[in-house]
Amino acid sequence: MNSFNFQEGETLLIDKPLNWTSFDVVNKIRGALKKHLDVKKLKVGHAGTLDPLASGLVILCTGKNTKKIEQFMGLDKVYTGTITLGGTTPTYDLESKITEVAVPEFDIETIRKAANTFKGSIDQMPPIYSAKRVKGQKAYELARRGKEVELKPSSIKIHEFEVVKVGPSKRLKNGQDCQFKISCSKGTYIRSVAFDLGEKLECGGFLSELRRTDIGNFSINEALTVEQFLEMLASLPKPVE
């Protein structure tokens, strides 16, 4: 990473921290690049949103490489994380209040058997707290105003759904935490997978941890944290006019 031409076009791999939006990352990197290059305008975009409560790989494109964003967005993704069984939340994650549903007492093989039913091409109902458009408005904006949200299922594909480990929940007194790895197509909501798994097991489920590790052939192991990128940028020579 010795030679860059950010104005012409670069593809950057960033490890998004928890509690940042993907746009927070774009704004931080764009601001730093504009200052470094001493320019007023610079195209920077991301190739796929990652929820604030998730961490991991985000692809950023600058300059002419922003034309590749749609191509990158179509790539398969790999996620690791934790699904908590025994309760539900309106947002299917920890962004809203947990309601306990039932006491799950499953062995790992029972949960794996349920997870296997999600493999392959399926129709998935997105969460109502999502950026899906409903009559020109984002679904989550309608949901937060208490409006009825009618969404249609999306066709997705889950290549792999591995339940790695099951243990007592860190968040529910009588719950179970399932550590997982999922490989899936574009447009898959892992929050919906968590909710649907809870429905399948009749005990409730929500997503309590999520990390994106791969997008196509791009790996989190190649990514820089925001801080590492800023340090690297500061070490580069200023462009000569």
Residues assigned a catalytic role: 51
Cβ(17)–Cβ(211) under 8 Å? no
Which has the closest alpha carbon to 163: 181, 183, 139, 143?
181
Which has the closest alpha carbon to 229: 38, 40, 49, 30?
30
Q: Which residues pair with 46 in a beta bridge?
A: 60
Which has the closest alpha carbon to 16: 210, 188, 236?
210
Please give the backbone phi and psi of residue 160, each rounded to the nearest 5 degrees, phi first.
-145, 135
Pairwise CA distance, residues 178 & 200, whole Å? 14
Computed on alpha carbons and rounded to an integer, the radius of gyration of the chain in Å comes to 20
Centre a 10 Å sphere on the Cβ of residue 101 and count the other Cβ atoms it contains.
19
Burial class of residue 148, CB neighbours in 10 A (0-12, 13-18, 19+): exposed
